[in-house]
Amino acid sequence: MAGRIPQEFIDDLVSRVDIVEVINRRVPLKKKGREYSACCPFHDEKTPSFYVSPSKQFYHCFGCGAHGTALGFLMDYEHLDFVEAVESLAGQLGVEVPREAATLHLNGAHPHSASQATESTESGPPSKALYAVMERAALWFRQQLAPPAGQVAIDYLKGRGLSGEVAKTFGIGYAPPGWDGLLNALGDVPKAQLIATGLVIEKEENGKVYDRFRERVMFPIRDRRGRVIAFGGRVLGDGTPKYLNSPETPIFHKGRELYGLHEARMALRDLPRLLVVEGYMDVVALAQFDIRYAVATLGTATTTEHLDRLFRMVDEVVFCFDGDRAGRKAAWRALENGLEQMRDGRQVRFMFLPEGEDPDSLVRQIGRAGFEARIADAPPMSEFLINQLREQVDLSSLEGGARMVELAKPLLERLPQGAYRVMLQARLAEITRLDLRQVVQLLGKGPAPLRHNQVPPRARGPVRLTRTPLRDAIALLLQQPQLAPLAGGAVRFAGIEEPGMGLLRELLDLLEGRPHLTTAALLEHWRESEHARALYQLAELEVVPIDGEEAPDLERQFTDTLATLERQQRQRRLEQLSRIPFRRLSAQEREEYSRLLQQRGEN
């Protein structure tokens, strides 16, 4: 069943965590007045422009515009998705992340509650217990990679040119012969947990269990947080299958995970690109030659989920395939899954290997410099796409050009609107010798615009807001949520209709029911809203005193601002009624007009 993280838990988590502590563990901060500063981890700079506010519990860079709460920082800095960031913060506080039945929220102010804050779970042992079992298994496998029992595996790895250092980095181990080696080592672990992890297999006829991995070099597969979630085993000798992966489990889904991704992140803080290869040994062998940005799919074709994870970390992905027919077929599947991910600034390229070579053998022949030169020369996705289409048509005829556009149409329709799509259309027009306008007309309009619940990529760079009473009211409420009761409830502003007033009412409604919410927790409620960026900017407005200044009366400031909003609304209504001839006003409108005149006189 799908498990949703309760919004109340997220609120409490964000309210309890200290963003200064979270960021300082990863980026050293220096105290500067009421805030902390550092050089921004999201762009190159020599003078610190990255500030962390302990009172507001969010960060902001005045250079590139990056901003967010502790959750947002973990998502951007460690390339985690929302659920992973929640789990990371919960782990820091030593609390379990609860789950509840997933429901679709149609009218809430926090759409990520029903989308990002969900993940698939299976009935069975809790995930925390399974992670612990996998760590114990990984340790046991590593301990077996020692003489005399593990000498055969050591000889194999040395024969492949691997050093002990690289084997240690990737946690490589050995599963010795026998049906119950691991089973005996984990004898205190409940049978249900061993089965759930996929470490053992249960016989249908009698319910007895035995080790899944035997006489194999073992490669632990880690998630992006470094937790062992599965294993891959390379057989020694003539056994089959040559490579054996863990089955799908509650903590392992091979269509999402990439071998070596965690190790690449640990080796390189700023990844230049990610190179997708086919096997564990390719990743490890390239690391031996100090190419530390290779990852491998786990016996599956590249999925859209794989690409989403890759592009969370880098803007350039290079696929490395065999140059034969099967390799090009796999490359085409990767291309099809990658089209929707090709936003401006992203790049996908395809590197095809010489016949009979794999990354392991090729890098040993030509070395790191030669291998990386081949990566640099790998053709981009657009070139591969065009060449594949060219092979299916006869461009010497007009019919061939039209046929090529027809073949390209379903592919280009999947590309997001932007410069990349426009340039590919132009290239297609050039090759087919058709007018660009004709090509665009034949291809159609492209993907539909974003739906209301879809969020475009977050823009970078500072944007300044003009201050108004309404924005000041929202800013004060964001930064000092305890002021909410002074407003007298959202109903007070029910008759005021102007841009942004609905947001103020939503804030007041939310705080009426949950007055304990902090600034950071409020911002998380609108993470995926169209108002998210404006709210961060309003949360940054200086409404509290800087050091050495007399503290303002925030309660009076807030009530005065709300009173100003009401006066402005009354004035607009008075002007509206004044434009109507008095004789045409209804009795109710005449009464309202008189009341507004009197109120203006009193003010």
Between 176 and 518, residue with greater pLDDT: 176
Q: Report yes or no: 195 and 209 within 8 Å, Cβ to Cβ.
A: yes
Q: Domain with 82 in it: what CATH number?
A: 3.90.580.10
Question: Are residues 116 and 131 located together in one domain of the fold?
Answer: no
Per-position DSSP letters for 143-195, written without gaps between them: HHSSTTTTHHHHHHHHHTT--HHHHHHTT-EEE-SSSSHHHHHTTTS-HHHHH
pLDDT for res 29 = 93
Q: Which of 40-44, 233-237, 522-526, 580-584 has the highest mean pLDDT?
A: 233-237
Cα 533 from chain centroid (whole Å): 18
Average pLDDT score over residue span 112-122: 40
Model pLDDT for residues 570-602, shown as the tens digit of each residue: 777 677 777 787 777 788 777 777 776 776 666
Distance CA 526, CA 533 (A): 9
In a domain, 233, yes or no: yes
Total domain count, the chain? 5
| pLDDT score recorded for residue 457 | 37
More confident residue, 80 or 523: 523
Instruction: Give the pLDDT score at 603.
Output: 58
Residue 188 domain flag: yes
Residue 482 sits in a domain whose CATH number is 1.10.860.10
**Which residues are within 8 A (CB) of 151 and not within 5 positions of it... i.e. 6 or more apart?**
none
Does residue 253 lie within any of the structural domains? no
Has residue 185 been placed in a domain? yes
Looking at the structure, do residues 292 and 200 belong to the same domain, yes or no? no
Range of the domain at 495: 469-602
**Same structural domain, 497 and 518:** yes
273, 346: one domain = yes
Whether 73 maps to a domain, the answer reads yes
Note the pLDDT of residue 351: 95
State what percent of residues in the chain have pLDDT above 90.
Answer: 35
335 and 305 belong to one structural domain: yes
pLDDT at 156 over 90: yes
- Beta strands (DSSP E) in 84-156 are 100-101, 118-120
Mean pLDDT of 80-108: 71
Q: Report, in this order, helix, strand and coil percent for the chain, each rounded to 5.
A: 50, 15, 40
Examine the domain organization and report whether 72 and 160 are in the same domain. no
pTM, entire model = 0.63
Strand partners, 190: none
User: Do 25 and 100 share a domain, yes or no?
Assistant: yes
> What token pair was written down for 191?
């049978």
Q: Which pLDDT value is given to residue 477?
A: 87
Give the domain CATH number at 137. 3.90.980.10
Q: Is the pLDDT of residue 465 over 80?
A: no
476 and 559 in a single domain? The answer is: yes
Q: Are residues 433 and 556 in the same domain?
A: no
